[in-house]
Structure 1
Amino acid sequence: MLDVSEKIKTLRTAKAIARIKVSPETIEKINKKEIEKGDIFEVSRAVAALSAKKTSEILPFCHNIPIEWVGCDVRIQDGFLDVEVTVKTIARTGCEMEALFAVSTCALNIYDMLKPYDKQIVIEEIKLVEKTGGKSEFKEKVKEDFKAGVLVVSDSVYAGKKQDKAGKEIIKILSENGIKNIEYKIVPDEIEMIRKEVLSWCENGFDLVITTGGTGLSPRDTTPEAIKPIIEKDISSIMEFARFYGAERTPYTMLSRGLSGIKGKTLILTLPGSTRGARETMMALFPYILHIYRIMGGGGH
């Protein structure tokens, strides 16, 4: 089983189909409702719903995800029974296996219901035809000259008493999201020095500035105080979303004072100083946050 704990929950859908070859006589019996075991159309809807919800109990590497909706459609076409199953979930991983498992079970159940009348039934095809949702659907292409600044705010790191890990983790995740032009600096927990570096990047046309450290409640934590006066458009919802993500992992997320907003054309994000806190925030926001540049440029969703 793969670890999906760092993913965010999104609406995901999957559609799978099966084709079942049956005889003309069998199709006639179906149309005349002469199948002793019942109506294959109605039974298939029940089988699809039950099977989708039971997938993780049979397939050991499938996650037990919440099934929000299952639709099943059976059509008679050119000597075939075409079965289509659609599954919806709001989860950290997709539901394609649930759709495939449900359509397969429907095909087997139809086979079972029709086999007393037809000894030549063939399940000819089972395949996934559509899948939506997840990180790949929200990826944005980053322009070639995109510039980002990562500012580590820490007295101990600035003094050389401690190695920076959070800033390096942020750079790593930015690189994974196609951002290559990254400037990296370290400052102590001093309001004026923090503000000076961030303003310098904004004035030099940086697209993104991320600070790490100084967002907590200790006497030296002053990053929000340094950044708040220079933000022209507050976007509190960004960090609230990150805190919501973090709250599922630790209750201490409530103690973070990170903020976010825009200065000119620069997006500013203030992240926690711990490596874990910085990584969790980055995983919550990227690549989704990159959509903001399309909106800022006058584009739509």
Structure 2
Amino acid sequence: MKNVGMKAESYRIAIAHAILHAPQHCIELLRIGQTEKGDALKTARIAGILAAKRTDELIPLCHPLPIYQADVEFELLENAVKIIAQVETIGPTGVEMEALTAASLAGLTLYDMLKPHCNPEDLSLDQCKLAQKKGGKSHYKRVLAESITASVIVLSDTVAMGKKPDTAGKNVLDILAEANFHQVMYQIIPDDPQQLLALIEQQKNTYPLILTVGGTGLGPKDLTVETIQPLLKREIPGLMEAARSFGQKRTPYAALSRGVAGYIDQSVVITLPGSRQGAKESLLAILPALIHLFDVQKNIPYHGGYE
């Protein structure tokens, strides 16, 4: 089963279609709701909705999801019925299979209720396909349309002294590379506010994105937030709210992160936690918003450093 634990939840919709071919007199039975087994369209609608809600029990390796809305509609044609299933959720993965299963089971229910009224070869269910999907990575992009540069500054006394390897910063570099950031500046410095201030002064207006890693907790040397926050000209509080919310569903310790985000001159500066998992979770949580910020918003102040 695919691990979706590190995927952010989003509002997702899927619509699937299927076609049941049937003789004209069977279509008329559907229209008036009079088959031997009762009103076939109403029964098929309920069957489709139930199928959407139980897809994870029917299809191996399909994730269970909260189904916030599921419905099945029908269009009666001359010699066919078009089945339209729509399913909606808020979750880490999509509901395409739920919509397809709903359309299929609704079609099979119609097949079952019409077969006493015609020859088996007169009925066929086909063209079951996904018609539309919204949400997730297809809607909220996680990769830049055009590459831009970035800077990653890791703050750690022990890493700077070579006493332990940097895993958090390396994780951040991997995520940025996958998101189409290029020529990423990577530096490791001690937990020293003065060195951090000097680097920010050098790099602002050169890198559109500056990420610090470490110093957002409550330890005596965790001073990244105190160093960065007074420099922010326009804060973006929602970024770190999203990061903490995402992290808190995975560990209660995320509530202790004090990270901040915003503009320092023309650079977006974001403070990430110093743990490998904390940095990864925080960046993954806000990555779609960052991509939107740099890809879509035309009022972002571009300059020669990354044009």
TM-score norm. by structure 1 comes to 0.94
- RMSD value, Cα: 1.5
> Could you say which residue in structure 2 is the equivalent of 1:195?
197
Q: Is the 8 A contact 1:18 1:123 kept in 2?
A: yes
Q: Is the 8 A contact 1:151 1:211 kept in 2?
A: yes
> Could you say which residue in structure 2 is the equivalent of 1:118?
118
Provide, for residues 242-285 of structure 1, a one-character-per-residue CA deviation record: whole Å limited to 9, x for no partner.
Answer: 00000001101111111111112211010111111111111111
Residue 296 of structure 1 deviates from its aligned partner by: 5.1
> Could you say which residue in structure 2 is the equivalent of 1:8?
8
Q: Secondary structure at the match of 2:227?
A: helix
| 1:143 partnered with 2:146 | yes
Residue 229 of structure 1 deviates from its aligned partner by: 1.3
Q: Which region of structure 1 is more displaced relative to structure 2, 25-34 or 14-23? A: 25-34
1:3/1:147 CA distance change after superposition, 3 Å = same
Q: Secondary structure at the match of 2:117?
A: coil
> Could you say which residue in structure 2 is the equivalent of 1:153?
155
Q: Is the 8 A contact 1:208 1:267 kept in 2?
A: yes
CA distance in 1, matches of 2:260, 2:29: 66
Q: Secondary structure at the match of 1:143?
A: coil
CA distance in 2, matches of 1:142, 1:59: 35
Aligned positions of 1:36-185 closer than 5 A: 36-119=36-119, 120-139=122-141, 141-144=144-147, 146-185=148-187
1:197/1:47 CA distance change after superposition, 3 Å = same
Q: Secondary structure at the match of 1:164?
A: coil
CA distance in 2, matches of 1:237, 1:251: 19
| 1:284 partnered with 2:285 | yes
Q: Is the 8 A contact 1:214 1:220 kept in 2?
A: yes
Residue 71 of structure 1 deviates from its aligned partner by: 1.8
Q: Give identity over the alignment, percent.
A: 37
- Residue identity opposite 2:12 in structure 1: R
CA distance in 2, matches of 1:9, 1:52: 19
CA distance in 2, matches of 1:244, 1:211: 19
1:163/1:29 CA distance change after superposition, 3 Å = closer
- Residue identity opposite 1:270 in structure 2: T
1:79/1:296 CA distance change after superposition, 3 Å = closer
| 1:243 partnered with 2:238 | no
Residue 295 of structure 1 deviates from its aligned partner by: 6.0
CA distance in 2, matches of 1:91, 1:138: 13
Q: Is the 8 A contact 2:41 2:110 kept in 1?
A: no
Provide, for residues 166-205 of structure 1, a one-character-per-residue CA deviation record: whole Å limited to 9, x for no partner.
Answer: 11111110000001120011111111111111121104x2
Number of aligned positions between the proteins: 297
TM-score norm. by structure 2 comes to 0.93
- Residue identity opposite 1:184 in structure 2: Y
Residue 72 of structure 1 deviates from its aligned partner by: 1.0
Q: Is the 8 A contact 1:142 1:179 kept in 2?
A: no
CA distance in 2, matches of 1:87, 1:275: 36
- Residue identity opposite 1:175 in structure 2: A
CA distance in 2, matches of 1:127, 1:133: 18
Q: Is the 8 A contact 2:144 2:181 kept in 1?
A: no
Q: Which runs of 5+ in 1 are unaligned?
A: none
> Could you say which residue in structure 2 is the equivalent of 1:269?
270
- Residue identity opposite 2:129 in structure 1: K
Q: Is the 8 A contact 2:72 2:102 kept in 1?
A: no
- Residue identity opposite 2:123 in structure 1: I
Residue 29 of structure 1 deviates from its aligned partner by: 2.5
CA distance in 2, matches of 1:79, 1:111: 13
1:82/1:156 CA distance change after superposition, 3 Å = same
Residue 141 of structure 1 deviates from its aligned partner by: 3.0
Q: Which region of structure 1 is more displaced relative to structure 2, 224-233 or 33-42? A: 33-42
Provide, for residues 4-32 of structure 1, a one-character-per-residue CA deviation record: whole Å limited to 9, x for no partner.
Answer: 00001111111111111111121223333
- Residue identity opposite 1:245 in structure 2: F
